[in-house]
Structure 1
Amino acid sequence: MLKVSTLHPDGKEAILAVLEAGNWFGAPSVIDGLPHAHDISASDDSELLFVAHASFHELMRRNSFALSFARLQSMQARAVFSMLEDATLRSIRARVARRIKRLMHSDVTMSAPERLVIPITHDTLAMMLGVTRQTLAGELKYLVAQGAIALGYGRINVVSVERLEAVERDC
C-alpha cells in the first residue's frame, strides 16, 4: 500500500489517499513536466513499475491506451471533487462513513471489488480526514453503536453497508 501525503511546514501531515496494487500515480508530472506535488511512501514492501516520459508519450499515441488513461484520470478527478464536497458540505460523521465506503473499493479509483475488512489504522484514517485521532475515535464509536462497523487492530470491519449508508445519508 502506498500513501499519498503532504507535509505542512508546521510538521502536520495530511494523507490525501492510499493507493493499492494496480494503481497509477505521477501522471500530472509526466504530462506537464512539473515536479510531483505530493509525497508517496510505501507502508509495506511494494513493487513499482516506472514508465519513462518518452515511453508514456508513445503510449498516449495509441487510442486504446489514451482512452483508458483518460478514464483513470476522470475517476481520480471525480474522487478529488467528491472529497472537496465532503470537506465543505458534510458533517465529520458523514465524512467518516463516506471514506470508509470509499476504502471498501480502494480509495482513489474505486476499482477494487468491495471488501468488508479494510486494513487501515485510526491514525491514517484521521490524517486522511483532517481530524484528530480523538475526534475520529468518537465517530467510529458511533458507527460501532449503530451496527455499521466493528473495529480490529489495524483494520475496520464493515458489518452493515446499509447502516453505513444510512449514517452517511442522515448526518
Structure 2
Amino acid sequence: MQRTKTSERKPLAVVLRESIWARGLTPEQMARVEADTVEQFVPKGGYVCHKGEKVDAWIGVVDGLVKMANISAEGKTVTFTGLSAGGWFGEGTILKNELRKYDVTALRDSRIARMPVRTFNWLLDNSLPFTRFLLMQLNERLGQFIGMVEFDRMLDVDARVARCLAAMFNSHLYPGADTLLQISQEEIGYLSGASRQRANQALQVLEREGLLKVDYGGIQILDLDGLRRFRA
C-alpha cells in the first residue's frame, strides 16, 4: 500500500498488464482491455461510486486508498473493507446484475481504473484464466467478510486494528502491499471502525508487543503472523 510519487506513476496500460488477473490473457484480450478501460482521478473524500447506482464498470485502485462502506438510517457508518493499489472490486454486483449496495469513497487522492461491464463480461465468456481468477477473488472476499463479522463481535479495538492491518496482506486481494504501510492513523481508524485517538492507542499496544513499528508517515510490519494471531 505504498504511495506513489507523481514522477513514478505508471501509465494505466502498464498497471493493467501487471495486474494478477491479466497474467493469463491473450494479446488480443489484453489489447481490448487496454482500449476499453479508462482512468479516473478521485480526490480525498470524493466518491468512487454510490450505493443504489447501476453498475457500469469493474473498478480497480491504480494508486491510493478507498473505503467500502454504508451509512445506516441512524447515521452509523459500517465499513466493509479498504482497498489499496492493485485491488479490484464490484464483480459480485456485476454477476448478479443488481444495483450497487455500498458507497466507495477515497481516503486519500486516488487513481481509479474502470473496465466497462461489457468488457468484463466478454473476458468472463472468453478467458478461462480470468474466470478462475474471479472464483478465487470471490472466495477470498467471502472469507474476508466472514472474518470481519467475527472480529467485530468478538474482538476489542486493539485486536480489530491488528486484524485490519494483517488483512492488507492478502496477496490475492491486495497484491501491491508492502511491509512498510504508508497509511495514517486516521485511515486505520476509518478501516477498523475506531477513532483516530483509539487507533493510535491500539498501535502503541501492538508496537509494545513487537508486532510493528510506527514510523513517520507509515507503519513497518515486523510480525505479520503475530498480528493475525493477536488475542485469538
Q: What is the TM-score with the length of structure 1 in the denominator?
A: 0.79
Return the match for 1:7 from 71, 81, 86.
Answer: 71
- AA of the residue aligned to 1:85: E
Q: 1:139, CA displacement in angstroms?
A: 1.6
> Any stretches of 5+ residues in structure 1 without a counterpart?
none
- AA of the residue aligned to 1:127: Y
Indicate the residue corresponding to 2:204 in structure 1: 141
Q: 1:87, CA displacement in angstroms?
A: 1.3
Indicate the residue corresponding to 1:36 in structure 2: 100
Indicate the residue corresponding to 2:115 in structure 1: 50
- AA of the residue aligned to 1:125: I
What is the DSSP-based 3-state SS (H/G/I as helix, E as strand, rest coil) of the residue aligned with 1:48?
strand
What is the DSSP-based 3-state SS (H/G/I as helix, E as strand, rest coil) of the residue aligned with 1:71?
helix
Note the 1:33-112 alignment, pairs <5 A: 33-42=97-106, 43-52=108-117, 54-62=118-126, 63-103=128-168, 105=169, 109-112=173-176
Distance 1:10 1:107 in 2: 36
- Asked if the contact 2:78–2:193 (Cα under 8 Å) also holds between the matched residues in 1, the reply is yes
Indicate the residue corresponding to 2:194 in structure 1: 131
Indicate the residue corresponding to 1:121 in structure 2: 184
What's the Cα RMSD here? Answer: 2.7
> Any stretches of 5+ residues in structure 2 without a counterpart?
1-63
- AA of the residue aligned to 2:103: D
Superposed CA deviations along residues 84-129 of structure 1, whole A, max 9, x for unmatched, are 12112223322222221222x269815445x221122222212222
- Asked if the contact 1:148–1:158 (Cα under 8 Å) also holds between the matched residues in 2, the reply is yes
Superposed CA deviations along residues 35-69 of structure 1, whole A, max 9, x for unmatched, are 211122332240413222x3333322233322221
- Asked if the contact 1:86–1:95 (Cα under 8 Å) also holds between the matched residues in 2, the reply is yes
Distance 2:172 2:206 in 1: 23
Distance 2:162 2:212 in 1: 10
Where is the strand percentage greater, Structure 1 or Structure 2?
A: 2
Q: What is the TM-score with the length of structure 2 in the denominator?
A: 0.61
What is the DSSP-based 3-state SS (H/G/I as helix, E as strand, rest coil) of the residue aligned with 2:89?
coil
- Asked if the contact 2:84–2:174 (Cα under 8 Å) also holds between the matched residues in 1, the reply is no
What is the DSSP-based 3-state SS (H/G/I as helix, E as strand, rest coil) of the residue aligned with 1:50?
strand
Q: Which runs of 4+ in 1 moved over 6 A?
A: none
**Cα separation, partners in 2 of 1:28 and 1:164, compared to 1, 3 Å:** closer
Tell me, yes or no, if structure 1 residue 22 matches structure 2 residue 86. yes
